[in-house]
Structure 1
Amino acid sequence: MTLLRSPKPGALIVRWVFGRDAAKVTDKLRKHAPGGVDAIRDQYYRTDDSDARLDVYFPAGTQTALPTVVWTHGGAWISGNKSNNATYYELLASRGFTVVSLDYSIGPEHRYPTAIGQLNDAHAYILANAERLHVDPSKIFLAGDSAGAQLSSQLATIITNPEYADLVCVKPALRPDQVRGVVLNCGIYDVANMVGGPGIIGWGVDRSLWAYTGDRLFVDSTAAQQMSTLHHVTADFPPAYISGGNADPLTDRQSKPLADKLTGFGVKVDTLFFPEDHEPPLGHEYQFNLDGADGVVAFERTVDFLSARVD
């Protein structure tokens, strides 16, 4: 009966599973650490908020402002932290970028839209401390994976769609001209198309979204409607790199529809998708597997996307 009244027990199980898997991925990435990268860690971007921290990575000895990738981690909105996949951020930094990895509050302890307000404040902090953090305020990229891709797409929509910003009651810290592009890996952009999954995966999605939105009938909730950026993006959305694995159910149900809609608006979209019969099958968050050739290809395509938009 408790499980029917509260998402917390199920959400904590999902958190444990995601946390275990994230630790394994983070550990496997360490062998690819590039060296020659400095970091500024554990900066509080919001006063009196213990969840509002960020880490900054940049090439060693950097004295100038660099194009900056602001990365929001995944974890089904109920797990994860800014240190997950740290080597990946170091690798991006080694290519000539400043990379900012953000923490934010997660469910079920905190609910939507807490994270949106935090991330917008993080953007304001990054701008206010641009010189110290080696950030070029005119060359910002928003990036994320899984739930972090959803959050990044939502912030990008807030920045580029004033009507949507009014709807969610957020005044964006970044101007549209400051955002050079968006990197979206394995994300969620249409909450209604998330439900109905089979078995334990469907159960986990249900508990995660219930925990994050605070609404058992989350599909019809205001939170779910606002989170579903597929229905709010416009022709002013920034250029986007969108990718997902062929064995990730989110690719056909989420990533491809967003790519198609943006392309239809005339937005510049760079996609990396794979044939259905691609081997090995590429699951959720495949891009962090740099032991595999496809993860390396995804990383290089990401760097190419970023580099093409900094001049």
Structure 2
Amino acid sequence: MSKPSKTAGEAPASDSLRRRHRGWRVAAWIVGPLLLVMVPVAIVGSVTPAPSALIIRSLFVKDGAARAAEMQEHVAVEPATQMFDIAYGGGVDPVETLDLFSNATEGELLPTVVWIHGGAWVSGSSANVNPYLKLLANEGYTTVGVNYGLGPEATYPAAVNQLNEALGYLNDHADELGIDSSQIVLAGDSAGAQLASQLATLITDERYANLMGIAPALEADQLSGALLNCGVYDLASMAELDGIIAWGLQTSLWAYTGTKNWSATYEGATMSSLDFVTSDFPPTYISGGNGDGLTWLQSIPMSTALQAAGVPVTELFWPAEHEPALPHEYQFHLDRPEAQEALEATIGWLGEVTS
């Protein structure tokens, strides 16, 4: 009986099997170590958010440093006064610090922008936004970047209490810091925008302050405005998302609130500033990129709620078809013309609310 013929270029079956076996071994070398890491993280992650939250933090740290370096290149002149790591909590907790930038002369008090950094409630620092604060300081403001406790080490409402304490410190030391305490703008990006909106609600709504059990450090008439970039204002809608980005945000919220069921508890309810908007909420500037899902799910509904309550709102949103699609926190990518437009709009709005 004759042997089966083999066409030109066709390897014997044994050669094909050997190559396939080598491929499986290569795949095992790659996938094996990943599984050794991913499987335990997945198992532990079903019980505690800490390992995943720390992974998320590491990603934010790298991104935040790169973004700050990009912004720093646009700072042509450094503000005359730069103060770092001012302890606002009496030095008990090392995270309770703030940075300040100003061109105020001796005895001069300037309208003040208090900025709360983002980082999904588990990462970030004032250093990530300091170059942007320098730009605003050069427009005639004292600007302050505040640090606060992050999850999972600190759980809700620790950050709210700390930020309220920081406002009290700024109010008490206004004269020496060049702060006009009658013209305070609360500002923030991403998770920081959520916190800024929550503080504005705390200060302007006595019922909400009672629910939180926190005595506001400022009076409502001390607030000139709220500046909200790319924030989260409705926690219930966050729980309904799926996908890798949603997983990251939901894990971060679990780490920050200390409860896996955050959307249906006190934590999620009181973090949802959209549900507590009143006409006393300060005039608001709100913006988000068209390529950021949070714009459509969070920022636009928040703007709609504010306007329905009679709050003066200045929006900067972009058409859905705008190209290039603008990502989360596009405002900090100052090499982009849209970010420059947002900066100009921000400066213009600040001039209106603090004039």
TM normalised by structure 1 equals 0.98
Q: Which residue of 1 aligns with 2:288?
A: 244
Offset of residue 59 of structure 1 = 1.7
Q: Which residue of 1 aligns with 2:341?
A: 297
Q: Which residue of 2 aligns with 1:17?
A: 59
Q: Which residue of 1 aligns with 2:30?
A: none
Instruction: Spell out, residue by residue over 1:217-260, the C-alpha distance to the aligned partner (whole angstroms, 9 max, x if none).
Output: 11112111000001011111000000000010000110011100
SS of residue matched to 1:83:
helix
Q: Which of 115, 140, 145 is 2:184 aligned to?
A: 140
CA contact (8 A) 2:190 2:231 kept: yes
CA contact (8 A) 2:104 2:110 kept: no
Offset of residue 62 of structure 1 = 5.6
Offset of residue 158 of structure 1 = 0.5
SS of residue matched to 1:5:
coil
CA contact (8 A) 1:43 1:53 kept: yes
What's the % identity of the aligned pairs? Answer: 46
Question: AA paired with 1:82?
Answer: S
Where does 1:162-173 land on structure 2 (aligned, <5 Å)?
A: 162-173=206-217
Question: AA paired with 2:333?
Answer: N
Q: Which of 72, 85, 104 is 1:42 aligned to?
A: 85
Q: Which residue of 2 aligns with 1:120?
A: 164
Offset of residue 140 of structure 1 = 0.5
Q: Which residue of 1 aligns with 2:268?
A: 224
Q: Which of 217, 234, 249 is 1:190 aligned to?
A: 234
Structure 1: distance between partners of 2:257 and 2:86: 27
SS of residue matched to 2:297:
helix
Structure 2: distance between partners of 1:138 and 1:51: 27
| Residue 26 in structure 1 maps to residue 65 in structure 2 | no
Structure 1 segments, 4+ long, off by >6 Å, are: none
Structure 2: distance between partners of 1:204 and 1:273: 25
Q: Which residue of 1 aligns with 2:119?
A: 75
Offset of residue 63 of structure 1 = 4.2
| Residue 107 in structure 1 maps to residue 151 in structure 2 | yes
| Residue 211 in structure 1 maps to residue 267 in structure 2 | no
Question: AA paired with 1:257?
Answer: P
CA contact (8 A) 1:57 1:100 kept: yes
CA contact (8 A) 1:36 1:59 kept: no
The structure that has the greater radius of gyration is 2
Question: AA paired with 2:83?
Answer: I
Structure 1: distance between partners of 2:203 and 2:114: 14
Q: Which residue of 2 aligns with 1:268?
A: 312
Q: Which of 54, 65, 71 is 2:98 aligned to?
A: 54
TM normalised by structure 2 equals 0.86
Structure 2: distance between partners of 1:75 and 1:288: 14
Q: Which residue of 2 aligns with 1:8?
A: 50
Structure 1: distance between partners of 2:166 and 2:313: 26
Report the number of matched residues. Answer: 311
CA contact (8 A) 2:290 2:325 kept: yes
Using the TM superposition, name which of 188-197 and 148-157 deviates more. Answer: 188-197
Instruction: Spell out, residue by residue over 1:241-282, the C-alpha distance to the aligned partner (whole angstroms, 9 max, x if none).
Output: 000000100001100111001101111000000000101110
SS of residue matched to 2:159:
helix
Structure 1 residues without counterparts, runs of 5 or longer = none
Structure 2 residues without counterparts, runs of 5 or longer = 1-42
